[in-house]
Each structure stands twice: as structure tokens, then as C-alpha cells.
A and B are shown apart, each in its own frame.
Chain A
Amino acid sequence: MRYSYHRPASLDEASDMAAALPNARFIQGGTDLMVRIGQGRERPGHLISLRRIGELTTIDANREIRIGAGATLSDTLAHPDIRRRLPALAQSLAALGSRQVRNMGTIGGNLCNASPAADTAPPLLVYDARVEIRNGRAIRCLPLAEFLLGPGKTALQAGEILVAIVVPDPPEGTGSAFIRRGRVTMDLAIASVAASVRLNGGASIAIRVAAGAVAPTPRRLTAAEAVATPTDDWSRAAIAAREQIEPITDLRASAEYRRHLTGILVRRALTMAAAASGQWSIDR
């Protein structure tokens, strides 16, 4: 575990360092990276800490909500606009790790780590989030779905910095929810589901569903969205969701169980989201 540690004060400086130093990694909270280094799965020569760069940690809630990639999970969870306008994201943050992990870990780290089970990803997918990436002095933007490419793989090129996550304000009347299941409270998800629903007197206007831990990346379940309707108690959505995922068997659960569970969670998340939308009463 031998590396040198750098603390640039600005994004420019960080980009320059990344370009100049061989075998360097960015580090924010380190709650993923340090674990991997400790296990010998990564052996970087240089760590470039982004924690001194103030602009990475700000959260701006205007017409869109812009979350700095370096905002801690705790600060993001505590932000009143996030709790009010992006409740599924807040629910995912509340379920993520422990208080200690949330105090150190960041939302950008969660996405850059690109775990199939990353808890903030399903709600952000449901909210149509996009990411802002710094490449040298240039900025580029990508929809989150195009950022997450596979286990541990993102669209970031060498030296690129994730700067912010930008979430459009969900339209009036949108309800959203996030549910996850692990073996115990502090565990990576076996399956997680986020859903958002905007209903108009029982007729759906916009429905979004995304799932985590049941495919190589967290993914939108568009097939489920297409058939989702409260009139069948969301059962067709649940069935379609089970078709659109690619779960694996691992130490936490079997593929079969994940498939079953995802259907249940989709139905429950949609039910919760619909109830939260406030436009649809459960009076069947």
C-alpha cells in the first residue's frame, strides 16, 4: 500500500495532475477505493484527493437540482430540496451503508465506482439525471444511463473528473419511491427498485422504473414502464420487469430469487410512488 497523496485546490490543478501522474486515481470519500486498495485489487501509485475543491461539494436547487460530485451522502440526504423534490433519492441515501459511511462517501463516488448495486443510481435514472464531466478544461454532459457501462466501468476517460449530477425538477404531481433489500441492514442490495409515477385521475401520464443489483448496471426498466398501470395493481409491470433484468447468482442471493424479488419490489415501489403522487387514491 504505497502511494503518494495529492490535494489539488482546483479542478484545473486536479486535471493537470491526472494528466501528469502515472497510475493515478481520484479519491473523494475513499469508502470504495480504500477498501479495494486494502484488498489488493487496486494498486495506484498516486491518489488525487478532490476533497479540497469547494465547487465539487455544492448543491444548487433551482429549476434543476445540481449536486456536486463531491457532496457527501449525508449532506445530500440532509438537503431540504432533495428530501422534498427527490424523495426516492433521499430514501436511497438513507438506506446506503451506515452513518459513518454516509459521512465519508460521496454521491459522485457512488456513481464512479459503478457498482451494479449502487444505491443512488436507480432513483437518479428514474429522475432522468445527467452527469457533468470535466475533461481538461472542457465540460461534457451525458445522460446517467450512458455513463454507467458495466460493473466498475463508466464512460469516464482517463483523467476525466465527474463534476456534478444534474437532475431536472420532477413535474408537479410526481410521486417517487425507492425500495431495496439486503440480507441485513448494512449490506449491498440484493435488489433495489426506484419508481416514479405521475397520474392524472387514475390514468398514468409518466411512469419510470429502474432497478439495481439485478443486471451489470443499474438500469431503467422501460418494458415495465410501458405496461405499468395501477388498474392491474401493477402486476404486468412486475412481470415485464422480471423479463428485462439479468440477475446473477452470487453469495447474497440466487438469480431466481432476485428475479422474483424484483417483481415484488417493482409493484411495491410503484404503489408507493403512486400514493405519493397524491393524485391517485387507493379506492378500488
Chain B
Amino acid sequence: MTRSRHVGTERPRPDAADKLAGKAHYIHDIAVQGMLYGRIRFSDHAHARIARIDTSLAESVPGVRAVITGQTTPEIRFGLLRDNVALKKDRVRQFRDEVAAVAATSPEAAARAVELIEVEYEPLPAVFTPDEALAEGAALVHETDHAGRSRSSNLLPLSCRHLTGDIAAATAASRYIVEGTYTVPRIQQACMGTSGCLAEFSPEGNLTITAKTQIPFLAQRDFNRALEALGLTNRNSRVIVPAIGGAFGTGLDTHAYEFIAILLAWKTGRPVKIVYDRREEFSCLSPRQEARIRVCQGCDDRGRLTFRDVEVIQDNGAYTSWGATYPNVMLVTATSLYRVPAVRFDSRIVYTNNTYCQAMRGYGNPEVTWAIESNLDELAAAAGMDPIAMRLLNANEPGDLSPMGLKFDSCALRECLDAVATSLRTSSSPPAGQTRVRGTGMAGLINVGGGGKIYRSDGSGIILKLDDYGNVNVAYGGVEMGQGLHSALTIMVADALGVRPERVFINQTDTATCPWDVGTHASRGAFMAGNAAVLAATKLRERLFALAERVYADEVERNIARIGQSERIEAFDFRAARAADFDLRDGYLAPRQAPDEAWYRIELGRLLRAAHFAERDPAIFTEEAFYEPPTQLPDWERGYGNMSASYGFGAQGVEVEVDTETGEVRILRLVAVSDIGRVLNPATLKGQMYGGIAQGVGYALFEEVQTERGRILNPGFTDYKVASAADLDFPIELRFVETNDPHGPFGAKGAGELALAPTAPAIANAIYNAVGVRVRDLPITPEKVLRALSETSRR
């Protein structure tokens, strides 16, 4: 293996045709016999006691088969801290809390019935910012924890910190020091395909749930717990993943709507499907966390970084999902982007009565990169240094061991920074009019590229099954959600085994048929799948070559007999070929030293049939492998541990034009240079980059979930804006510095998240370069730029 014939070539993705033809089956397309439609009644208050729920009117709606509440069903507890329940019994803590649900024979009946549920509330005092929540005497979002122990503060019992070196001493020894506070808003993942699931029980009480999830196996564990809560002991959940129209972290946890579908299916004995409409997707699904990040960095008189001090406070909302662990990933950048001898990192996550937050692409990294890379530019300005030169001076190098204990076995940050700098130096045309000013800016990044160990296993299993015709069926438990995993996996299986990609078929992800995988997140899919595929393919090749040693000579003789070439072949002693001599290429098996003649090649399917139908020791060929990366689960109290097998690096540069009269910022061009190891499929990789950059542009300039006392004000695309193609009306230059990572399959590192990490700070730095104002609060709206401009001119 590792001789790559298809890796690195641009290939259409295997799921493209179905998706283009409208034949992919998203959760929205799936219907089964007897299926009911579930719908949820959400809270009308940010914090209130539920005084009374009357479901009688709802029950009388024709077509309604069940109306359930927290009072009428067993409690299903879930969430990272198990602080959430599927249906709230006596108290709501956020606007989207689930208080009742309906299953009906039509979506219309379900919608009507849900409206007819009468809920009486007694409002309670509520807190909407971390500052309010941490103030003396603040209302408690949770008075007890999941086990009933009383709580005295809104601070979450999750700590993640780090200390290397002596910050005070480093501060004292620094020539220049700059401190700033940088904020990021809640933003929506804005998936094209909204959330949903279909739950169905067998008569024995086993559950099959088709769910839009990125973590089928952790979800299986959660759903099995739910079955136990229903008294269904020793039963199993089977999780099947449909086609997914984007997930971006929304599938990284199980959700109340899934447990509610389970409750409704259990109650009615019928399959129940719940699919969110766009409004629900915006207002009832968890967005990315809002955070405030204080950064202080210092450097010596030459511009060498002396220390970095980072303090994060995150608004968790009312319940705890994986969003609360963003600091675990922030640590990577906080401790290890650029060489810093002294680092302090601390984080606090705070309960509020806002919507609770969850994972989103980048998982803390865009947030902390925004803060650090903005601050670094400010430090360069204070030191009177070119910000590019400062970055180059402090760039990480291959072989570095960072303060967090991260090992950089491949690292081309310097090359990426250099390439961006070169590209930015080429000048463009002058601006149109005196009120428009241009500037350039850049930002660097580091991102986990070989998994991210935040769970006790970060592994992936795979099964490669060969059939009698030389096809390879791949059972892999990771999730294709639009990112191109199946494309990368197809190519890697093809090359690892030695078959054509057309012969590789990826099975639907299903916990019943696929081996365990921790989940598709942390840019880990292709990295893990590829490594697992290489392990399994290597086993298959060994078995195939051992088989070949036995049957090859007979098969060649049969070839020769068929074509009658007996006198020309004696140059090569095919009877002497041993297992170690063989190679499989493009689905044909032959000894490496065999002359390039058709009769020396045995088609894989023929070889497999020979093994299958042999009189002695018949065999079929299926191999499994489990890849667990050589990483450590960090000690979060110390913030130490090599959590990823490899790390991606990169830099982005932008040129902007600022309209000094209106405060508008136009991006004129953007260049992104990335070190993601080897490029697997340039087509899908570019898709990941363009998409990430589009999200980065939105994060930088206009995306924001707006709220008022916990209520979401812009739950739809009319009011919540994401970048559309028309907004990306500037050239985007993508380049890859291909390192060959020793841990990566074919040298590749993960590439799913890094594109959006540096976009916002690069834009902010370009704005500063253009007009000398610094906006530290995302999104950088025209109003904020204008305000900053008028403050500067007043000064």
C-alpha cells in the first residue's frame, strides 16, 4: 500500500449523483407504514415554574394518538452533565424547553394539537449574561445537580486550565505588553437539512432510530439509557444515519426531540418522526456558544513572544452539551499557536437562562484564534513591528513539543505564513473614491488534525468485506454529512487495498452493521477512517497474497492455455512466486517482478472465487480493524496532554476595502494556505475550504443569533444572515503546503474545521491596517466600524 494511485487526484464524490438527482434520503424523505408525526410544545418563558398543563383540548383533535408531558412519562435524563430531561416536569429554564409533545397522523393535526395544549407558568427571576449569573444573589438556573445535590452558583463544575512558566516574571521581563478583551456571539450552524429523527420499536421493545447524528455509537449508549428509563431493560437501540444535509456539530449530542420521539413511539406503539421546521431549527436547537476572551501577550524588544495569558468566560445557556468543553480545544491554540515560553489559560462556563449551546465546527478554535490573532496584531503594532514578521519570528517548527505537550511531527506554519505574506504583497488596483480605504491583514492557525481526544477512546473501527466479484463493501461508523468523508474513504480504501475506486462501496452508517467509532468531529473522520482502512487493507492483502501463493500458478496456466502463448512466457518463472512477491493493483493481482502481460495478472474477483469455491480450505475475505490513535486524554486541570496524533496549520490573508462614511467592509480577495498533510481529494478539500471560509466571513461580518431576555429574535434566514454565493464575490486563492504526516493515512491530516478559524481575525487585522481602528467584538458590523472610526477621530 501507500503507493497512491487515486489519493491526490480530483474525483467526483460518490454521493454526488444521488444528491444532485434528488435521490438521497434525508430524514425529511423517509416515511414508513403507520408512521405518526411528532411535534413539541416549547416553553413561553425563560425561567418559570410550570403550574399546570392541560392537554384535554389537544387530545380531542382528530388524528391525535398521544399527548405526553413530563408528568405522564418516565423521566429521561441526558446531557454532558445529565442536567437536562426530555420533557420538563415542573420548571422551564430557557425559552425552548420541551414541556409537552403530540403524535398525530398528520403534521397538521400535530401542529394544531400542540397549539391547543394549555400551559400555566409562574415566572421566576432569570439571568441572561455570565456577569448577571455570577453576581451575588443571582437566581440559580439549577438549584441541584443531576444527583440532587444542591448547587450554590451558576458556575459549571467543569474546569480546564493550564500554566507553564511564571507569568508575573515573564510580564515583568517583557518589553511590550498588550491586553484586550474579544467577544464572539452565539451563531447558528444553519444546516440546509434541519434536524429530525424517526423512532420505531419492535414488538420485543428494541428500538430502531434513524437519526441525524454525528455520534451514532455514543447516541446508541444514550438511547439505551433511555430504554432503561422506560423500564425496557436488556433491550437495544439501533441507530441508523440517513443522508445528512450538513451537521456542523449539531449532531454531536443527543437531543430532547430524539428522546421525545422515543417516548411517543413507545406510548403509541407506532413509528414516530419528528422533523424541525426552520423556525424550530433556529430557536430550539443549540447554537455555538457566546464567549468573552481576555488575552494578554508580551514580547521582547525583538518581537519574540514572552508570555500569553488567556481567560475565557462562556455563556453555556441552561443545560450542558459538548459546547461546554470548547476550552479543551481552545487550549491547543492558546498554548501552542506560535512558540510561547509562558502560558496561562483559564476558563469558566456559566449557566444562564439563554438557549443552551453545543458544538459547532472548529469547537472553540475560531473563538480563541479570533482573540489571540487579533491581540497579536495589536502587540505587533505596539512593538512597531510588521505583524507578518512577528508571526514568522514566533512560528512553530516541526519537531516542537509545545507547552501543552503537543508534538508537531509535521508542521509547515512558516511556509503557510510566508505564502500568504507573498500573496498579500501583490498590489491590487487603487480604491474607487476617497472615502474608501484598503488594507491587508492575516492570521495563522493550528487545529487538531489527528483526532482530538476528549473521550476515553478516540478510535475508529472498520470492516472491509470483499465479495466474489472483487467489490469492497466498507462498513465504517463515521458519518458523511456533506463534508466528503465517503469520497476520502473510497479513495483511501482503493489505494490501501489496490482496487479501483469504482469497486469500493461505503455502507450506510448503522450501529448494527458498522464497528464502533467515537463520532465524526474534530476534523477526525478521514484521518481515522483512513488509518483504520490501511490496517484492515493490510490484513486483507496479506491473506490475499498467501492465497495467491497457492493458486496463482494454476490460474496463470489457465490463462496461458486459454490464449496459447506457451513459448513466450518462460522468461518469468511464475511458479516460483511467493506471498511476499505479490501486489494488488487496480483490482489485478500479480507478482511485482512479473512482466507486464495480461496473462500474468489475475483479476481479484477470480482469485476470490477460487478461494471461495476451493475444495480444500474454502474461504471468504472480510477483515476488520480498529485504529486508536497514539494520543493522550489530557489532564484538564493541568491542561496537558498530546490530544491529537497530528496538527494542521495554516494562515489566511485578506485585502479589504473600508468605506469610511458608512463603515462597510468589503472583502476584495482572500488567500488561504494550509498544511493539512497530503491532499486526498482536491475537489472535496476545496469544498471544505470554501465552506469554512464562507462561515468565517459570516462569523466575522454579520452572523449573530440575536436575543432579548433569552428569546431568540431572528429565527430564520430572513433575519439571520449567512453568506450566500453572492456575498463571496471576491477571488479566493487556495493553496496547500503538502507535508507528509507520519501518522496520517497517506500522510494526510484532518481538514474539516481549520478553514474558518483565522478568517475573522484576518479581516479585523485588515480593517485595522486600512483605517487604524480595532473592533474586538464580532460580528464586525458597519455600525461598529463607524463607531470606532468616529471615536478615533474624536480622540
Contacts and interface: CB of A to CB of B under 8 A. Distances in A.
Interface of A: 1, 35, 39, 98, 181, 183-188, 251-254, 257, 260-261, 264
Contact of B726 (A98, A183, A251): A98
Given A251-B706, A251-B713, A185 B719 contact: no
Contacts of B783: 253-254, 257
B728 to A, nearest CB: 10
B714 A251 contact: yes
Given A251-B706, A253-B783, A257-B783, A185 B714 contact: no
A31 to B, nearest CB: 12
Nearest to A253: B783
**10 closest A-B pairs (Cβ-Cβ)?**
A185-B726, A257-B783, A184-B721, A264-B661, A251-B719, A183-B702, A184-B727, A185-B727, A183-B721, A251-B714
A186 B721 CA distance: 9
29 contacts: A1-B108, A35-B718, A98-B726, A181-B664, A183-B702, A183-B721, A183-B781, A184-B702, A184-B721, A184-B723, A184-B724, A184-B726, A184-B727, A185-B724, A185-B726, A185-B727, A186-B724, A186-B726, A188-B718, A251-B713, A251-B719, A252-B719, A254-B783, A257-B782, A257-B783, A257-B786, A260-B786, A264-B661, A264-B662
A198 B108 CA distance: 57
Given A186-B726, A260-B786, 7 more contacts: A35-B718, A184-B702, A185-B726, A188-B718, A251-B719, A257-B782, A257-B786
Interface string B678-703: 00000000000000000000000010
B727 to A, nearest CB: 5
Contacts of A254: 783
A1 B662 CA distance: 42
Contacts of A181: 662, 664, 782
A251 B711 CA distance: 13
A11 to B, nearest CB: 32
Contact of A187 (B108, B664, B721): B721
A257 B782 CA distance: 9
A264 to B, nearest CB: 5
A226 B624 CA distance: 82
Contacts of B721: 183-184, 187
A98 B727 CA distance: 12
Pick from A35, A183, A260 the residue with the most CB of B within 10 Å.
A183
Nearest to A267: B661
A181 to B, nearest CB: 7
A29 to B, nearest CB: 17
Contacts of A39: 279
Contacts of A186: 724, 726
Interface of B: 108, 279, 661-662, 664, 702, 706, 713-714, 718-719, 721, 723-724, 726-727, 729, 781-783, 786
A181 B786 CA distance: 15
A181 B661 CA distance: 13
A184 B702 CA distance: 8
Contacts of B718: 35, 188
Contacts of A264: 661-662
Nearest to A35: B718
B643 to A, nearest CB: 36
A1 B714 CA distance: 23
B609 to A, nearest CB: 53
A93 to B, nearest CB: 15
Nearest to A98: B726
A190 to B, nearest CB: 9
Contacts of A183: 702, 721, 781
A103 B782 CA distance: 31
A266 to B, nearest CB: 12
Contacts of A261: 662, 782
A257 B663 CA distance: 10
A264 B786 CA distance: 13
Nearest to A265: B662
Nearest to A40: B111
A186 B723 CA distance: 9
A187 B718 CA distance: 7
A231 to B, nearest CB: 19
B47 to A, nearest CB: 24
B738 to A, nearest CB: 34
Contacts of A35: 718
Contacts of A251: 706, 713-714, 719
A39 B280 CA distance: 12
Contacts of B279: 39
A129 to B, nearest CB: 27
A280 B719 CA distance: 41
A42 to B, nearest CB: 15
Contacts of A187: 721
Contacts of B661: 264
A185 to B, nearest CB: 4
A246 B714 CA distance: 23
Nearest to A187: B721
Contacts of B719: 251-252
A264 B706 CA distance: 27
A90 B62 CA distance: 52
Contacts of B724: 184-186
Nearest to A261: B662
Nearest to A252: B719
Contacts of A1: 108
B725 to A, nearest CB: 9
Nearest to B787: A257
A181 B783 CA distance: 13
Contacts of A184: 702, 721, 723-724, 726-727
Contacts of A185: 724, 726-727, 729
Contacts of B729: 185
B184 to A, nearest CB: 18
Nearest to A1: B108
Contacts of A188: 718
A184 B661 CA distance: 18
Contacts of B723: 184
Nearest to B277: A38
Contacts of B713: 251
Nearest to B725: A185
A271 to B, nearest CB: 10
Pick from B279, B661, B713 the residue with the most CB of A within 10 Å.
B661
A253 B785 CA distance: 13
